[in-house]
Structure 1
Amino acid sequence: MTPSGTGAGSGPVIAVLGLGEAGGRFAADLVAAGASVRGYDPRVAAPQGVHPAENAAEACHGAGVVLSVNSAADALDALAQGLPGCAPGTVWGELNTAAPAVKEAVRRAAGARVVVADVAIMAPVPPKGLLTPMAVSGPGAVAFAAALGAFGTPVEVLDGPVGLAATRKLLRSVFYKGLAAAAVEALAAAEAAGLAEWLAGNIEQELIKADAATLERLVTGSRTHAVRRRHEMQAAAELLDGLGVPARVARASRDWLADLAG
């Protein structure tokens, strides 16, 4: 069934549940690419060209693919609300950034009604929208990749169960979000110490110098010099205390180094 209303395309019908920053951009890009998009979000208006549904089940009605782009906490609720509108065999793209256990819970709750694809969005959405790289695993992986690939989305199919794509995404997040947290904490302390410009320049230069051997140096150096660096990070945490900056990353680093030293 092709949705009626302004902006309804003549291409395949795709439902988007969750029209926030990521879901709204995907929905708008799909419309621009010729898809017929039905969207639902109780808090966000549908982008231009997207057929606004009254509820999740209505949005899913007639859709061959559903993109669930909500929060991890809402993943199961989105499935429960959308499932009654899904025809058997619908591909349920679980795009929420959730733990593998949550993705598996969605697969179990879906039963035989829909085919679940565990989708990991592997980069920020706003710069590229529908061209944002994704990884997908689970029983619906191949069908999801074919459906979105037809619109130019680069999708890597992983040979494994629901949860594998989420695992890759979150392992990557430990590094990137941890790195970001360390930068934010260090710069906050530098600001308090009157050294923000100097530290920002220092960090920029270190990032520019990073190469293929940087990871090995970081890991080997941490293990080899764990005892000395543990004391160094304890001193750093005390410095941040004196500057009135929460030393969360500094103390976490100290504790990791203590484990390595042990």
Structure 2
Amino acid sequence: MRCTIIGLGEAGRIYASALQGRGHDVLGYDVAPIPTPNLRRAASMAEAVGQADAVIVMTTARASLPVARDAAPHLGPGTLYADFTSAAPSAKVALTEVLPAGVLTADIAILGPVISLGASTPLMAAGPGAERVAELLRPVGAPVEVVHGELGDAMAHKLLRSIVMKGFAAVICEAVEAGRRAGYEDWVRGQFAAVLSGDGQSTFDRFITGSAKHAAR
């Protein structure tokens, strides 16, 4: 398959290499002069996407819609257009207004650190092209969960997940720092480790019911 990666930062280069390893013809495009010695580069958006079977966008969230507008005139019917950016759900929905009819658009949420997990990072896919993304990336080792919903649904799931992940990380950092200053860091770490090693669903339920029950404290 002819695949184009738009956005050749760490994640873009990792997925480009993984797809090359499965025998796909991969072309890269980025306006920044990022060194990519093992990847062919397109000189223009037209060259990048004009003959592509699949276009994977891994730019910043801010660039999501501008990239789609630039690519739109050059995309053919049946092309898979997968937006991996962290743009808001509303921006993912807006892709339908920008891209031509016949393009299979997919909203992709990356659910882990690509720099450490590589192409095996869990993904969530939504939109008309979601199944095609799963077919393309599962063979490179990517766990792809397909959400049978609209564009923006994958990103909405990620934002809800981020409330937990980033909020929990912030609480742990604050508690460990407080424990360090009080001289109890090891004890604090042990308390968190004990909570995290248990039954996740039971812990989750206990937080919800316990917080409501003892909120007056």
2:81 corresponds to 1:92:
yes
How far apart, CA to CA, are the structure 2 residues paired with 1:47 and 1:148? 21
Unaligned runs of 5+ residues in structure 2 are none
Aligned residues: 217
Per the alignment, residue 156 of structure 2 pairs with 167
Identity, % of aligned pairs? Answer: 37
The 8 Å contact of residues 117 and 139 in structure 1, kept in 2 or not, is answered as: yes
Match for 2:123: what amino acid?
M
The 8 Å contact of residues 63 and 90 in structure 1, kept in 2 or not, is answered as: yes
Using CA pairs under 8 Å that are at least 6 residues apart, name the structure with larger relative contact order, 1 or 2: 2
How far apart, CA to CA, are the structure 2 residues paired with 1:97 and 1:188? 30
Root mean square deviation, CA, Å: 2.0
Residue 203 of structure 1, aligned match among 192, 195, 205: 192
Per the alignment, residue 106 of structure 1 pairs with 95
2:140 corresponds to 1:146:
no
Q: Helix, strand or coil for the counterpart of 2:171?
A: helix
Per the alignment, residue 250 of structure 1 pairs with none
2:66 corresponds to 1:73:
no
Match for 2:167: what amino acid?
G
Match for 1:105: what amino acid?
A
Q: Helix, strand or coil for the counterpart of 1:119?
A: strand
Report the TM-score, using the length of structure 2 for normalisation: 0.89
The CA deviation at 1:98 is 2.4
Report the TM-score, using the length of structure 1 for normalisation: 0.75
The 8 Å contact of residues 18 and 140 in structure 2, kept in 1 or not, is answered as: no
How far apart, CA to CA, are the structure 2 residues paired with 1:201 and 1:103? 41
Per-residue CA deviation, residues 190-213 of structure 1 (Å, 9 max, x unaligned), is 334444333223322322235431
Per the alignment, residue 176 of structure 1 pairs with 165
Match for 1:28: what amino acid?
S
Larger radius of gyration: 1
Match for 1:130: what amino acid?
A
Per-residue CA deviation, residues 38-85 of structure 1 (Å, 9 max, x unaligned), is 112233525342111223332223111111112221110121222233
The CA deviation at 1:169 is 1.6
The CA deviation at 1:86 is 2.1
2:86 corresponds to 1:131:
no
2:26 corresponds to 1:58:
no
Unaligned runs of 5+ residues in structure 1 are 1-11, 229-262
Residue 25 of structure 1, aligned match among 14, 25, 34: 14
